[in-house]
Amino acid sequence: MSEDELLDALRTRIAHHAADEVKDAKVGTPLTAADVQAAVQELEMPVPALLARVLTELGNGDWGPGYGFYPLLVPENQNLSLSVTELETSSVQWMRDCSPDGWPRQLLFLAYWGCNVSSILNLKDGRVGIFDFSVLADTEDLTGAAESILWQAESLHDWLSRWVDGESLFYELDQS
């Protein structure tokens, strides 16, 4: 399916049921291109073009797999749940303070599943995986975090296509 077809399929899916685990989930207001660029500068790493389109054409978080996507950022005029860029400066910063090497910067929090489980987007190679933070409960060394991710898709396009098709992206973690 082309990128445009995927975006149309996503629009249809979120119009009927925005988030898997939230009955009345509201789709976050789409970002502007300037908002995405500001987030890229804060993250110090580009985001995939498809993610930028999703954020600017569909909505900035609070919809999607599980409890929904983390908003990439929270514009000043919006009151959304915890944003990905806030994670970079709050809980991830806290994790970095506990470790000399810290959380790998290329691993972007993408969607939340509950119970300390999040989907992760690798900004360097485009893969999407699922990560259970409880595996880090007894360690301050986050350098091995990437080795604990169950990689599910080679690209955001493939991962979103699977969600649109109704595939459960969470239960793969139980099967690993």
At residue 160, the pLDDT reads: 97
pTM of the model: 0.82
Domain that holds residue 111: 3-175
Number of domains the chain contains? 1
pLDDT of residue 101: 55
* Number of CB atoms found within 10 A of residue 20's CB: 18
Q: What CATH number has the domain bearing residue 15?
A: 3.40.1580.10
Q: What DSSP line would sit under 11-71, residue for residue?
A: HHHHHH-SBSS-TT--PPPPPPHHHHHHHHHHHTSPPPHHHHHIIIII-SSS-BSTT-BPP
pLDDT in tens, 36-48: 998 888 777 889 9
Q: What is the DSSP letter of 155?
A: S
Between 110 and 143, the more confident residue is 110
Task: Please spell the DSSP secondary structure of 94-125, one letter per residue.
Answer: HHHHTSSS-S-TTEEEEEEEETTEEEEEETTT
Return the pLDDT at 95: 40
Burial class (CB in 10 A: 0-12, 13-18, 19+), 123: buried
pLDDT at 127: 95
| Chain segment 96-139, per-residue pLDDT in tens | 454 445 667 788 888 888 888 889 999 899 999 998 877 766 66
CA dist., res. 167 & res. 148, Å (int): 22
48-107 pLDDT, tens digit each: 999 999 999 999 888 899 888 888 876 555 554 555 555 544 333 444 454 445 667 788
Q: Supply the pLDDT for residue 139.
A: 64
